[in-house]
Structure 1
C-alpha cells in the first residue's frame, strides 16, 4: 500500500541528539562515563518527555546527586547545545514531501518545555501537518498508547502510515500496530525508502 502520510521522529532523524557527545565536550569522556554510570540521566529525560516540568525535573534530579549537581543542571541550562545540529538532508525530505502535498507528521519523545525551546530555533519543526509531542500527550514511545492516539487523531488506516525512527523499540511498536516502518540510520537510507514507497522521485529525494 502506498503511504498516505509520512511520520518523522525528531531526535537523530531531523536533529542530532547525542547527550553523551555533549558531555564529553564539557567534562571529558572519563567523567561523563562515570556520571552516566551513576545517574540515570535518560530516565530523568523520560520524565520531561512525559510532560513533567523541564527545569523542575532537572534541578530536582541534580539535588539527588550533589557531586554532579552542576553537570546535571547543564541538561537544562545548555539543552540547546545538546540538541544540535539539524540533519539537512532529512529536512529537505520533509519539505519535499510537503511540497508534494503528502501529509507529514512528527511523532516524537519531546518535553513541553524543550519543544518550546526547539521550535523557534528549528523552523522546520513548525512545518508538520501535525506534531504529536509526547510531553503534550503524557505518554512516550514505545508505549502502544501513543501510536493508538496518533491513529485515532489522524484517521488514517495504520497500514497507510509510514514511520521512521532511529530506535528499534519504537519501530517495533509501530510495526506491531500495522504501520509501515523504516529504521533510520542516515538520511540517504530514508530517502531511498521514500522513493521505493513511491512518495518521492529520486530527484525529489536528493
Structure 2
C-alpha cells in the first residue's frame, strides 16, 4: 500500500512561463542568449555549488557585470519562479494529503530553491521537502532516493514517485518505488487514482 507520494518540482509541479523572459528583461539581455547558457553548469548548481559559481560565469558570458548583489538578486528571482505551482498541480498535492497520504517533493535544485519553497504558499500542502542542493547529491543517483526512504521511514514499495525525466523514473523503479513518468497533471491524477491513492 502506498504511504507517500513523492513529486518532482520543476516541470512536474512548476513550469513557469515567465522564467527566461523575466530573467532576460531584468538583465537587459536577449532571451535567446540566456536560453543558450541557462543550463550550463546547472548539474553542479543543483548538487550544491554556490550561487556565485553558477550565476557568475553565466552572467559574464552574457556580458553582464556579475556583482554580488546582482548574483544574489538573480538567484532569488530564479528560485521564486520555480516555486510557482500550476493550480492543477497544487490541487494534486492537496488531494493526496487530504486522502491521508504523506506528500513529499524531491527536486534537483539549488540551495536557493529550499529558501523559496519554504516560504511558498503551497508549503503547507507538503510534509517533506528534499532539495538536492542541500543534500549534495542529485537524481538519478540512488543515494538521494535512499535518503528519502530513511527520512520517510518507508520501503521503496510504499512510495509512489512522479518525475518528468525518464532516468529519474527508472532509478526510482530500480529501488522498488512505484514510479510514473509525468506527461500531464491529468495523466498523473489517473495514475494516482489507479494506485488507490486518491
Query: Does TM, normalized by the shorter one, top 0.5?
Result: yes
Secondary structure at 1:42 match in 2: coil
Q: How many residues align?
A: 192
Unaligned runs of 5+ in 2: none
2:143 to 142, 145, 152: 145
Q: Distance in 1 between matches of 2:47 and 2:124?
A: 21
Secondary structure at 2:168 match in 1: helix
Please tell me whether the aligned partners of residues 19 and 78 of structure 2 are also in contact (alpha carbons under 8 angstroms): no
User: Structure 2 length normalisation: TM-score?
Assistant: 0.81
Q: Distance in 2 between matches of 1:161 and 1:68?
A: 44
Please tell me whether the aligned partners of residues 3 and 159 of structure 2 are also in contact (alpha carbons under 8 angstroms): yes
Q: Distance in 2 between matches of 1:125 and 1:168?
A: 26
Unaligned runs of 5+ in 1: 201-206
- Aligned counterparts, 1:1-206, within 5 A: 2-17=1-16, 21-22=20-21, 26=25, 31-37=30-36, 39=37, 41-54=38-51, 56-62=52-58, 65=61, 67=63, 75-76=74-75, 78-80=77-79, 82-83=81-82, 85-120=84-119, 122-200=120-198
Pair 1:44–1:101, CA change in 2 (3 A)? same
Runs ≥4 residues deviating over 6 A: none
Q: Distance in 2 between matches of 1:24 and 1:153?
A: 35
Please tell me whether the aligned partners of residues 46 and 109 of structure 2 are also in contact (alpha carbons under 8 angstroms): yes
- CA apart distance, 1:158: 0.5
Q: Distance in 1 between matches of 2:160 and 2:124?
A: 20
Please tell me whether the aligned partners of residues 44 and 61 of structure 1 are also in contact (alpha carbons under 8 angstroms): no
User: Structure 1 length normalisation: TM-score?
Assistant: 0.78
Pair 1:21–1:59, CA change in 2 (3 A)? closer
Please tell me whether the aligned partners of residues 4 and 159 of structure 2 are also in contact (alpha carbons under 8 angstroms): yes
Q: Distance in 1 between matches of 2:169 and 2:87?
A: 22
- CA apart distance, 1:24: 9.2
Q: Distance in 2 between matches of 1:174 and 1:25?
A: 35
Please tell me whether the aligned partners of residues 113 and 131 of structure 2 are also in contact (alpha carbons under 8 angstroms): no
